[in-house]
Amino acid sequence: MLVAAAVVSAGPAATETPPGIALLTGVSAQDMGTFDRVTFTFEKGTPNILSATYEVGPAVFAPSGQPVEPPIAGAARLVITMSNAADEDLTTNPVVVTYPGPFRFPADLPNITELVQLQDFEATLTWAIGVNDARVTAVSQVLLSPTRVQVDIPHGTGPVAAGPNFTG
């Protein structure tokens, strides 16, 4: 199960200039004790979360459809797609890369195994988060100051160990 949340504002007045594209500046993953957190940090605009879903099977890059090789580590992956977001500023000449990479890196956390960027096309960013256990409820949300998308994925729900109970 996945829960999505967003920080909502009244939005700009009709006479204001529309907000710019949110420019990705950083991606990090960390163990928060009982859950793992992935943070996508942005400057300028505010991204929107279009979807955040668990997927199995081969991952592909969009829009090319080329498979991710080698396959993303983990039993499954959480794929998060954000609109109004990019990792380079196309409004400048020359283009300014705001997120210099990496576009694939291991996380080696209790539940998160690896992160892979699958798409940066027409102000849509998609990242895959490899996980060991997709049976947990993940929460994704857009937060401000600084602008970021946070994805919290609880640690696995593996078997509960119980000691023997002898009566006599």
Nearest C-alpha neighbor of 116 from the set 106, 124, 50? 106
Kindly report, residue by residue over 34-79, the tens digit of the pLDDT: 999 999 999 999 999 999 999 988 999 999 999 999 999 999 999 9
pTM: 0.83
Kindly report, residue by residue over 91-111, the tens digit of the pLDDT: 889 999 999 989 999 999 999
DSSP E strand stretches across 64-156:
76-83, 85-86, 88-89, 96-97, 104-106, 112-121, 124-131, 138-143, 148-154
Q: Rounded to whole angstroms, how far apart are CA atoms 126 and 41?
A: 14
22-154, which class in CATH?
mainly beta
Token pair 């990496």 is found at 102
pLDDT band at 161 (very low <50, low <70, confident <90, very high): very low
- pLDDT value for 158: 58
- Separation of first and last alpha carbons in the chain: 44
Q: How many CB atoms lie within 10 A of CB 128?
A: 24
